Structures are given as structure tokens and as C-alpha cells.
Amino acid sequence: MRKKAPHLSYENNIMKYLILLPISLVSSIAFSADNHQHDEHSQHQMAEITQPETHQHNSQEANPSTSEHNHSSMNHDNMNHDMSSMQGGNAPADARNPDYSQGRVSSHTGTMHNHAAWSVRINQLEQLKDDENTTVSEGVAWYGSDSQRLRLTWDIEHNQQGSHQDISLAWQKPLDSFWSYEWGVAYQSEQTWLKLNVNGLMPYRFEVESNLLLNEQGHSLLSFEGHYDFRLTQHWVLQSSINANLASHTNIAQLQGKGLTELKTGLRLRYDLTRRFAPYLGIQQHDFFGKTADLRAQQGQTNHETTWLAGVRWWF
């Protein structure tokens, strides 16, 4: 009996699997049928939800006269579409000038103004801290319009040894929006000269000016001046400047030699209290060259000098 026990256990397991297999197949079929019925029920509910919207949309397409955007039935005869009242009329008293100038005259706006105006600008009124107690005044006054101006310029230097005066009166006309030329007469080195001038604003706002002076003897003087403003803040401005003079002849009485006579370079730090008034402090280097330096050395004068200065700048 003990020898047949393993064989009976194997047969019992086979019978057990044969019984469970049909039951598993029936359960799987029933579960699949239930899921399929559930999916069909869900799709039927979704169709019921979306069907009214589709029906409403189709009804609007079928009957355009009931659409909310249809204005064919509206009467436009009684509607006032006249918009002329919104345009024209007199501008208010405080309206802005259409040329954006607000009554101010400027030669660098690109727009020419033909009405007359005037201005006086003191570029430098300064005291130098040197042995000769030098005072400098340099400025320009003009009257006219952007198309033509009468300009009076001066550059006067006074010290214990005397004074140097450079005064001119010239007629200015524009070359374009940023450049002008002028011609007139000048008084310099105790002589009267014919003056030709070109001045303007270079790219990056470098302001430059060149002068050519001619006299009856055929002598000429050429000067070049330029400066640039480094705006540090809204009120603080550092201005760099350079001024060079050349002569075609030697004037022993004026201690002036032929060629490059002198060169001035400077830095001025100013504070703009207003747009019209600004005090400043600065430093200036003044050098003489060539024959001019030799003539000055013979008179015991220095040819290289660095001086501190203080001054004001204003215009009205």
C-alpha cells in the first residue's frame, strides 16, 4: 500500500487542474462580457451629453436668421455714424507746439526756424592760479535765426603783463543740421583780419571749431578748438578741451614764431546748478613750441605751465 501512494497523489492533482480549468475559462468570458457592456454604457452617456450641443449648433447653421451675429434685421437708418465732432476744432491754449520746439530755437534739431532770436553765452569766466594773476573771459552772443545769424565772439586774457584780445564779428549760415560756416572780420594781435570759420558737432558729440584769419600782408593764422562733455551724473559734467594755434609768419613784437605756436589742453569739472548756470574747477596745461618758444625764452618767460583754475559758465 505504501508503494502506490505517490501515484494516487499525482492522479489527484491532474483531476484538480481539469476541474479548475473550465471554471477559469467561464469566469474570464463573463468578466470580458461585463467590461464590454460597461464600455457601451459609457459611450452612450457621452453621446447623450454632446448631442444637445451638436443639435443646437446644427440648428443655428440651418437657420442663419436666428444667429446672434446676424444684423440683417437691424435698422441702420436711424443710427448716426457721423464722427466729425471727434476731429478738428480749436486746440486748447496749453497744447504742445506741433514742431516740438515749444518756442525754443535750436540749430541741431534738423528743423530750420526762420523767426529771429538772440542768446548770450559765457563759456568761460575764470581765474587762473598763476604768477601773473590771469583772468580769462570767453563767450559768444548772436542774433538771428537758424538760417542766418550775426555772431559776436570774444576771447580775452588779461594779466599783470598786459592783455590779449581776440574779438570777431561774423555772419553765420548753416551747411546742414550740425555744421555751420561764417565769414566776417576779427581783431587779434593788434591787427584786423578777414575771418573764415567752420564749426559744428561731430559724431559722438565732439564739438569742434576752426578759424582761418587773413590780413592785407598775406599773413595767416589758423586755430583749432575742440571739446567733449563727459556727463558723469545729471548735474556733474567733466569737460575736456584742446586748443592749437599756428602762424604763417614770425611776429617778434608779439613773441610769435612761424609754425605751431601754442597748445592748450584742459579738464574742467562743473556742476550744473541749472541749465543756465554752472560753476567749475579745473586744470590747464599751456605749452609753446618752435620759434615762439625761443622768443619767449629770450624774454625769460616759461614755455610749459600747468595751472589750476576756477570759474563759472552761464548763458541767457
Cβ atoms 120, 314 nearer than 8 A: no
Looking at residue 156, its pLDDT comes to 96
The rounded mean pLDDT for the chain is 78
**d(Cα 97, Cα 256) in Å, to the nearest integer?**
53
Residue 60: predicted pLDDT: 45
pLDDT above 70 coverage of the chain, percent: 64
Residue 44 above 90 pLDDT?
no
- Domain match, 125 and 37 both: no
φ, ψ (nearest 5 deg) of residue 59: -70, -35
CA-derived radius of gyration, the chain: 48
Supply the pLDDT for residue 9: 47
The answer to whether residue 175 scores a pLDDT higher than 80 is yes
Domain assignment of residue 78, yes or no? no
25 in the same domain as 142: no
138 and 239 both lie in a single domain: yes
Residues 165 and 33 in one domain: no
Q: Are residues 23 and 137 in the same domain?
A: no
Q: What is the mean pLDDT of residues 89-116?
A: 53
pLDDT of the residue at 201? 95
Pair 277, 161 in one domain: yes
pLDDT by residue (tens digit) across 184-201?
Answer: 999 998 899 999 999 999
Residue 120 has pLDDT above 90, yes or no: yes
DSSP state of 255: T
At 122, which helix (H) or strand (E)? strand 117-129
pLDDT at 22 over 70: no
Q: Are residues 169 and 245 in the same domain?
A: yes
| 200 and 276 co-located in one domain | yes
Mean pLDDT of 141-150: 94
Contact between 186 and 192 (Cβ < 8 Å):
yes
Mean pLDDT to the nearest integer, 56-77: 48
The answer to whether position 179 is within a domain reads yes
Kindly compute the dihedral angle of the four CA atoms of residues 253, 254, 256, 261, in this order, to the nearest 10 degrees. Answer: 170
Q: Give a yes or no: residue 31 inside a domain.
A: yes
Position with higher pLDDT, 49 vs 287: 287
Number of neighbouring beta carbons within 10 Å of residue 270: 20
The answer on pLDDT for 309 being more than 90 is yes
Three-point CA angle 232, 130, 208, nearest 5°: 45
At 257, the pLDDT band (50, 70, 90 cuts) reads: very high
pLDDT at 161: 82
- Asked if residue 99 belongs to a domain, the reply is no
- pLDDT over threshold 60, residue 255: yes
Tens digits of residue pLDDT in 197-251: 999 999 988 999 999 999 999 999 999 999 999 999 999 999 999 999 999 999 9
**What pLDDT shows up at residue 285?**
97
Same domain, 176 and 47: no
Q: Domain boundary at 53, 72, 87, which?
A: 53
Q: Write down the pTM of the prediction.
A: 0.64
Domain count, the chain: 2
List, in order, residues 6 or more apart from 26 with CB less than 8 Å away. Answer: none
Sequence-distant (6+) residues with CB within 8 A of 174 are: 107, 112, 146, 147, 180
Q: Is residue 17 part of a domain?
A: yes
Which alpha helices (H) appear in 72-140, and where do they start and end?
none
Per-residue confidence (pLDDT) for residue 19, from 0 to 100: 52
Clarify whether residues 155 and 270 are in a common domain. yes
268 in a structural domain: yes
- Report the percentage of the chain scoring pLDDT > 90: 57
What confidence score (pLDDT) does residue 49 get? Answer: 44
Residue 90 in any domain: the answer is: no
Residue 59 pLDDT grade (very low, low, confident, very high; cuts 50, 70, 90): very low
**Residue-number span of the structural domain to which 26 is assigned:** 5-53
Query: Is 68 part of any domain?
Result: no
For residues 261 and 49, the model is more confident at 261
CATH (domain of 242): 2.40.160.160
Pairing of strands 277-288, 259-271: antiparallel
Residues 41 and 125 in one domain: no
Q: Residue 259 region, left (φ>0) first, then alpha (ψ -120 to 50), else beta?
A: left
For residues 129-141, give the mean pLDDT.
93
Per-residue model confidence as pLDDT tens digits over 285-299: 999 999 999 999 999
Shared domain for 264 and 154, answered yes or no, is yes
